[in-house]
Structure 1
Amino acid sequence: MTETVRDNQPETDTETGEAHGTPPWPGTAVPSALLPLPRSWSLRPGPPFRLDADSEIDAGPGTEDTARWLSATVGAATGLPLPVRDGSAPGVRLRLDARTERSLGPEGYLLESGPAGVTLTGGGPAGLFWAAQTLRQLLGPAAYRRAPVRRDAVWTVPPVVIEDAPRFRWRGLMLDVARHFLPKDGVLRYLDLMAAHKMNTLHLHLTDDQGWRVQIRRYPRLTEVGGWRPRSRVGLTSSPLWDERPHGGYYTQDDVREIVAYAADRHITVVPEIDMPAHSQAAIAAHPELGVGDVVDTAAVEVWTEWGLSPNVLAPSDTVLRFYEHVLEEILELFPGPYVHIGGDECPMGQWRASPSVQARRTALGLPDEVALQHWLNRHFAEWLAERGRRPAAWDEIMDRRSPASGAGAQAAAWADTGAAFGAVSGAVRADVRPDARPSAESDLPPATTVLSWRGTAGGVAAVRAGHTAVMCPEEHLYLDHRQAAEGEPVPIGYVRTLADVYRFEPVPAGLTEEEAGRVAGAQGNAWSEALETPQRLDYQVFPRLAALAEVTWSDLPAPAERDVAEFEARMAGHRARLDALGVDHRRPGGPLPWQRRPGVPGRPMA
């Protein structure tokens, strides 16, 4: 007698022997199967719905894209045909509904299942797509595979009503593709992983000292020269180890169009970042006229092979303004989303202070110091973007003003500590970065400016009090390249931040008014890639902590001290089975597996 296999039962990890997965039906509460946690749910009496070869997808007006995604993705995993039709056969019914939009918003949805089928109702196309993601979770881990693993599998959906909507509108991940290039297929894969977690914003850090990763037709040398470096340090700056292979790559404009379209199909906005005026050595190597040529021989500058922070920065000249306007013109053509990120972080002031031409420019502009000069440059591009209907985004330094009374206080000490960890050269440069500047709630930036707060939350607080939007990504909480345990981590970097630590992060700082809190758009995890040289290293650092951030930004959780970490980790046991099915080389609860270790490669741990 053949035993019936139910494919939404726990799986066993063949590498570790761990049992993964909690069956969503029968006998357990539905939330044990779902992540992020939905707003509300209730189990109905009666048997589950069985998805089988006779099941169809009934696509109402405006639902065709989600119908095609369901048919292709779930159909591949189950081996079921799942045809998209306008009919009454048992199956999955897709609808958009204005009442759902009014009550739950465009990203909200209602999922109703019973023995006759499943109905997904979205407040908008995005909400319907997130409902489809929930349905996929209810089908079990094997629904995340690309082909069926058991031909005798039985696919069921528990009889349930789920009402759901996100807490925040920015649920993001930043991929640093400049330090270590992530080829196009890797970006597409991460878009699928984000969609599986209901995350909707991919921030691509496209340019830095170590590489320029997007084709600009007007300036081909940006990728011909700036897209490649001769070698890379293995580990952080104190490491004596080198990879002598040239490293590089870039996205052609058609690659970008493909990425943006693939993201849009998954209701994900792609935010491009062109960093300036610091983190620009790759651009200066390609175009020496962009650098501070009266204090450094910019013709001798090469794409940087070190990590940390280069002293070479853009000159605040008309040449630079016109050059980057031309770059941004092409960026606007490639990225139709509302946000364009202009960097603005970690600008060393040494070359500007030493340059007669820069000082003459500062004096002519009537600016008191170099901090004001950088603000002038970043504000120029913020206004340029706003005039073209885009929302400028920048790191929180865009809110900085010099504080005469602050001297070289806490921030300077923090920079010195960080710089020392990076190495002597970078340490000296970092000590020259804004030692006496602080975020200010007084702003002359375009109102639509979005500030990404990475140096703690102070920059975000200043931004929302000035009337801007803030996205929280503080280094000490949401830098995903940072280590996940005190000992035994591969290339240990930064602070220890565990899965539980990320789950306890609260994006809205204490002390904000209700109006100010409403300007906190959400949060994002930042995956800086100095030590993430392979997709496997990226997976290990990002997952499973991105799953915790997904719930933090989607679900209406209690205060951090009241969050039930044990309950979340119990659901994570089932979610790890999904990650396994997706081929994610995530960190296991017991630490790195043998192939995930990097013995002998030094990192940069911080207390």
Structure 2
Amino acid sequence: MDPMDLIPAPSASRWVRPAGYDVLDTDTRLEAGPGTEGVARWFRATIGAATGLPFPDGNDTDGRIVLGLDPALPPEGYRIVVDGYAQRIEGGSAAGVFRAVQTYRQLLGPDAYRRAPVGPPGREWRVPTVVVEDAPRFPWRGLMLDVARHFLPKDDVLRYLDLMAAHQLNVLHLHLTDDQGWRIEIKRYPRLTEVGSWRARTKRGHRASQLWDDTPHGGHYTQDDIREIVAYAAERHIRVVPEIDVPGHSQAAIAAYPELGNTDVVDTTTLTVWDTWGVSPNVLAPTDGTLRFYEGVLEEVLDLFPAQTSPFVHLGGDECPKDQWRASPAAQARIRELGLADEDGLQAWFVRHFGRWLADRGRRLIGWDEILEGGTAADLPPGAVVSSWRGYAGGIAAAEAGHDVVMCPEQHVYLDHRQDGGPAEPVPIGYVRTLEDVYRFEPVPPGLAPDAAAHVVGTQANVWTEVMDSRSRVDYQVFPRLAAFAEVAWSTRLPADPAARDFADFERRMTAHYRRLDALGVDYRPPGGPLPRQTRPGVAGRPIEGAPPNV
């Protein structure tokens, strides 16, 4: 295995001649320069655990590792120099040093990803004599985890933060609320979790499936759990973006507090947390009471996600059926009172109310591309960001209007979609999106003017968990494709033309990376197809043949 088989591929790397290795042993010291103390703690706790080496403080020998800041580098840029003298790991900020250490860990080999040493006592750990220089292409390199459809316990979220860090990703988007569950404790509204976090049963497979799991499903994160997640992420220089979905995807909230629904057309007291998949017709009522309720929710959310680490709040804004509003005299009166054209305008009013509310508190709204409907991109609150999921079109419109965009088109980076067209794929959903397909995804649409292209601040892979009922199922869908996505989001070496990318070289480097994933305990999809235990025979999915145009 070539120690330079790095993922993501760095912008520049070379062997120091003559090529060789430095040895790490019990005398190897770790010197943390000002501003790198947190990275040093992570280094000792993680690489120290894997190697069994103490890495004591010290600066008196060549046989040491020096962590330092170099303001000439970009904030997340870094440089690693191993040349037979003191090993230097430098970054433009603490985040850059942390990114460097992720690459340094790869240089040590896959056993550096274990939690305790393996091999004989006194094993020799070698670092190749190399220079690696790198910096990311995009400042937003994200993963969306849907914990609403199937709840992931806190430790699984912390584990995914570690997996993200190992792949140089820096934004965790937590989808915390939906029709099928409310996952965050709000102290002033306890029924959101007492009632809204549990459903009596769960559809197995796609919503057309005839199978049910009659075990009640649920769970939520306490406020201290959220604080722990945010702090754990911050130590890894990862931003956590909470999503509180409005005005659609809200049946769990309405089941907990029936007054939030359209009570003049639906007996909302009979609603329960939804037990199947799709888009519920039960949406929030456009009342002042609903606005005040969600302002109360968001006040607690802002307290849990501090502005310095989490300036963005995702409000969803997607897939809001309008049938109840059309039938509701109260909703129609609201449309007339506000001088709106129709129900699309009512949805836009709803989202933009909270966008302004967030802006007044120094935060930035981010929402799915439906937040562009019912008006124009120019109507969005200042600083609003668009998650472009229905292809590129919404992102293009937002970028051309001067709004930042995170490109996450379903046709490319929805990792719940199946990885192969074969019959063994477990609960096959959506389009076939292979490892190579993800590797050839280009976040910036061709032909976008340079000033608009500058508003594409990054990209994100989305993981919707309707048919992922365990951590292993999430692993299977996410990996190895997240490694390909991470290279797309990070590497400045990839040609903008997807056809010109060297997938064969990426596959070769993945040979080493599979061993890292094995050491991390990731239950990924093997290159040759699912293992027998990874299949789900008899559980129906919803495979879609072909794909719509990528616009």
Report TM bin, short chain: over 0.9
Work out whether 1:248 is the aligned partner of 2:227: no
Q: CA 1:318 to 1:551, structure 2 compared with 1: closer, same or farther past 3 Å?
A: same
Query: Per-residue deviation at 1:88?
Result: 3.5
Query: So what's the TM-score if we normalise by structure 1?
Result: 0.87
- The residue that corresponds to 2:401 in the other structure is 466
- The residue that corresponds to 2:66 in the other structure is 93
- The residue that corresponds to 1:164 in the other structure is 134
- The residue that corresponds to 1:585 in the other structure is 523
Q: CA 1:141 to 1:159, structure 2 compared with 1: closer, same or farther past 3 Å?
A: same
- The residue that corresponds to 1:573 in the other structure is 511
Equivalent in 380, 384, 387 of residue 353 of structure 2: 380
CA distance in 2, matches of 1:446, 1:364: 21
3-state SS of paired residue (2:31) = strand
Where does 1:423-434 land on structure 2 (aligned, <5 Å)?
none
- String of CA shifts for 1:374-404, please: whole Å, max 9, x gaps: 00110000111011101110000011247xx
Query: Per-residue deviation at 1:241?
Result: 0.8
Letter in 1 for 2:178: D
- String of CA shifts for 1:395-422, please: whole Å, max 9, x gaps: 00011247xxxxxxxxxxxxxxxxxxxx
- String of CA shifts for 1:466-520, please: whole Å, max 9, x gaps: 1100001111111101000001200000000000000000000012111111110
Letter in 2 for 1:383: R
- Contact 1:447-1:467 within 8 A present in 2 as well: no
3-state SS of paired residue (1:270) = strand
- Contact 1:456-1:476 within 8 A present in 2 as well: yes
Letter in 1 for 2:250: S
CA distance in 2, matches of 1:85, 1:456: 52
Query: Per-residue deviation at 1:311?
Result: 0.4
Where does 1:46-445 land on structure 2 (aligned, <5 Å)?
46=18, 47-88=20-61, 90-100=63-73, 105-150=74-119, 151-336=121-306, 337-401=310-374, 440=376, 442-445=377-380
- The residue that corresponds to 1:406 in the other structure is none
CA distance in 1, matches of 2:60, 2:498: 47
3-state SS of paired residue (1:84) = coil
- The residue that corresponds to 2:487 in the other structure is 551
Equivalent in 508, 511, 523 of residue 444 of structure 2: 508
- Contact 1:59-1:86 within 8 A present in 2 as well: no
- The residue that corresponds to 1:23 in the other structure is 2
Query: So what's the TM-score if we normalise by structure 2?
Result: 0.96
Query: Per-residue deviation at 1:81?
Result: 1.3
- String of CA shifts for 1:30-53, please: whole Å, max 9, x gaps: 2xx210000111211133111111
Equivalent in 11, 15, 27 of residue 43 of structure 1: 15
CA distance in 2, matches of 1:73, 1:367: 56
With 457-466 and 192-201 compared, the bigger mean Cα shift is at 457-466
- Number of equivalences: 537
- The residue that corresponds to 2:501 in the other structure is 563
- Contact 1:71-1:84 within 8 A present in 2 as well: no
CA distance in 2, matches of 1:516, 1:88: 51
- The residue that corresponds to 2:548 in the other structure is none
- Contact 1:67-1:84 within 8 A present in 2 as well: no
Letter in 2 for 1:464: A
- The residue that corresponds to 1:34 in the other structure is 6
Equivalent in 469, 473, 478 of residue 542 of structure 1: 478
Letter in 2 for 1:240: Q
CA distance in 2, matches of 1:501, 1:606: 16
Letter in 2 for 1:198: Q
- Contact 2:61-2:86 within 8 A present in 1 as well: no
- The residue that corresponds to 2:425 in the other structure is 489
- The residue that corresponds to 1:452 in the other structure is 387
RMSD (CA atoms): 1.0
- String of CA shifts for 1:28-84, please: whole Å, max 9, x gaps: xx2xx2100001112111331111111010111111111111111111111111123
- Contact 2:419-2:432 within 8 A present in 1 as well: yes
Letter in 1 for 2:315: I
- Contact 1:178-1:206 within 8 A present in 2 as well: yes
CA distance in 2, matches of 1:560, 1:39: 17
Query: Per-residue deviation at 1:211?
Result: 0.3
CA distance in 1, matches of 2:458, 2:468: 25
Query: Per-residue deviation at 1:357?
Result: 0.5
- The residue that corresponds to 2:549 in the other structure is none
Letter in 1 for 2:533: W
Letter in 2 for 1:581: A
Identity of matched residues, %: 64
Letter in 2 for 1:514: P
3-state SS of paired residue (1:308) = coil
Query: Per-residue deviation at 1:23?
Result: 3.1
3-state SS of paired residue (1:342) = strand
3-state SS of paired residue (1:110) = strand
With 557-566 and 110-119 compared, the bigger mean Cα shift is at 110-119
CA distance in 2, matches of 1:507, 1:98: 29
CA distance in 2, matches of 1:64, 1:565: 38
Alignment gaps of 5+ in structure 2: 546-551
- String of CA shifts for 1:414-465, please: whole Å, max 9, x gaps: xxxxxxxxxxxxxxxxxxxxxxxxxx5x421122111000001111111111
3-state SS of paired residue (2:82) = strand
CA distance in 1, matches of 2:362, 2:58: 39
- String of CA shifts for 1:102-148, please: whole Å, max 9, x gaps: xxx10000110022342001100100000000100000000000011
Which contiguous aligned blocks of 4+ residues in structure 1 show a shift greater than 6 angstroms?
Answer: none
Alignment gaps of 5+ in structure 1: 1-21, 25-29, 403-439
CA distance in 2, matches of 1:265, 1:579: 22
Query: Per-residue deviation at 1:351?
Result: 0.2
- Contact 1:213-1:250 within 8 A present in 2 as well: yes
CA distance in 1, matches of 2:304, 2:62: 42
CA distance in 2, matches of 1:117, 1:579: 30
